[in-house]
Amino acid sequence: MSSFTKSAQQWATFARSWFLIDARMQPPGKIATMCSVRLQGKHKPIYHALSDCGDHVVVMNTRHIAFSGNKWEQKVYSSHTGYPGGFKQVTAAQLHHKDPKAIIKLAVYGMLPRNLHRRTMMQRLHLFPDDVLPDDILENLTEELPQPRVIPRKLSEYTQEERDAFPMLWTPPEDYRMK
Amino acid sequence: MVFLTLSCWIRSRGPDRYWRVQEVLKNARHFRGRKNRCFSLAVKAVRRAFVYATKARKAKRHYMRQLWISRIAAASREHGMKYPALIHNLVKTNVQVNRRILSDLAITEPRSFLSLAALAKARREEGFRAALGDGKEPAGVFSRIVQSH
C-alpha cells in the first residue's frame, strides 16, 4: 500500500490542458457532450466538483456542424426578452444563420451542471465558426480529440474502380428507362 | 425579616450558568450573524446544525461512493473501457476489489489500475468469443476462474 510520502510527486497533475475539436460534419449534441465532460474535469481520475479541475476546449468549424434528420427546420430555440409579447421562437437554421456559434454554445450550456461554476466553465469554452484560430490559442493547444462521427464518403469521392467493383443486385435490361 | 444581611438578599441561581451557555456557544462560533453570539438564537441554530450533521453521516457514504464511481469511470475511459463493463468483468474474474480502493489505485497507482483494466478487457473478449463463437475454440484462461458465491 503506497503512502503519500513514498509515492512520487507528479507536478503537472492539476495542470489545465487545452483540447481541440473539429466540428466539421459532426452532430452538435455529441460535440457538446465531449466538451461538457472535459470542461467539468470528469475525464480525470482526480475529479472533484470543488477542485476546479476543468480544462479548456476549443471547437473549430462550428459553422459546418450537421444535424441529423429534419432538425434544421424542426428544432426550435425559444427565448423571452422579458417584455410583454417578447416570446421569440427561432428554428435551428435561422439561429445558425444569425450566429454560427450559438447552437453549440447553447447545447454545452444545457449539459453543464446548474451551479455557479457553469459560467466559469463556459468562459473556458472557445468557439470558432471556421478553422482560422488566433495565434495565442494555437500556442496553448495540447491535444486534438478524435471526431465522434465517421463522415460517410460522397458518391463523387468514390473512384470509378470502386464503383464498378460494388456488387449489383440486378442488371437492368437494355430497354429499361431509368429516371 | 428573614434575610438580615446583604449577602443573604442576593438571589444567585447557581454559579454555572456561564459554563452551560458557553457549552452551546462554542459550537456556534463559526456561524454568521448574531447566532454566533446570542444564546437564544444560537441554541436554535446549533440544534439545526446537529440535525444536519446526523443526516449527513448517512449521505456522506452515498456521496463518497458516487465520487469513487465517477473517478473509476474516468480512469477506465482513459484505458478504453467503460465503467459498467469494467466492474462486470472484474466480478466475473472474481476480483473483489471495492470501489474505494479502485479509485485510489486509479489516482496513485496508475499501472496497477491499467493491469486491472487489461484483465477486465481480456475477460470481456473471452466472453464475446464464448457467446458469438461456435464452441470449437477452447475456453479462455480468465474465464476458468470459478466464482465463490
Condensed to tens digits (0 to 9), the pLDDT of residues B23-72 reads 999 999 999 999 999 999 999 999 999 999 999 999 999 999 999 999 99
In A59-76, which positions are buried (b, 16+ CB within 10 angstroms) versus exposed (e)?
bbbbeebebeeebbeebe
- The 10 Å Cβ neighbour count of residue B20 is 11
Sheet holding A125-127, edge to edge: A125-127, A56-60, A18-22, A143-144
Q: Report the share of chain B in percent with pLDDT over 70.
A: 96
Q: Which residues of B touch A7 (CB under 8 A)?
A: 108
pTM (2 d.p.):
0.85
- The 10 Å Cβ neighbour count of residue A125 is 22
Q: Which residues of A touch B78 (CB under 8 A)?
A: 43, 45
Question: How confident is residue B5, by pLDDT bands cut at 50, 70 and 90?
Answer: confident
Average pLDDT over residues B102-126: 95
CB contact under 8 A, A2 and B78: no
Put simply, whether B97 touches A (Cβ < 8 Å) is: no
CB contact under 8 A, B103 and A44: no
Put simply, whether B103 touches A (Cβ < 8 Å) is: yes
Question: How confident is residue A102, by pLDDT bands cut at 50, 70 and 90?
Answer: very high
Contact of B116 with B90, CB cutoff 8 Å: yes
Question: How confident is residue A7, by pLDDT bands cut at 50, 70 and 90?
Answer: low
Cell of B40: 437564544
Which string of DSSP letters, residue by residue, matches B56-125?
HHHHHHHHHHHHHHHHHHHHHHHTT--HHHHHHHHHHTT----HHHHHHHHHH-HHHHHHHHHHHHHHHH
- Tell me: pLDDT of A3 over 60: no
Please state, in angstroms and as integers, the Cα–Cα distance from residue B13 to each residue in A26, A158, B5, B7, B123, following that order: 80, 100, 18, 13, 76
Q: Which residues of A touch B64 (CB under 8 A)?
A: none
Mean pLDDT, chain B, whole residue set: 91
Q: Is the ipTM of this complex over 0.90?
A: no
Which string of DSSP letters, residue by residue, matches A114-142?
SSTHHHHHHHTEEE-SSS---HHHHHH--
Put simply, whether A43 touches B (Cβ < 8 Å) is: yes
Put simply, whether B59 touches A (Cβ < 8 Å) is: no
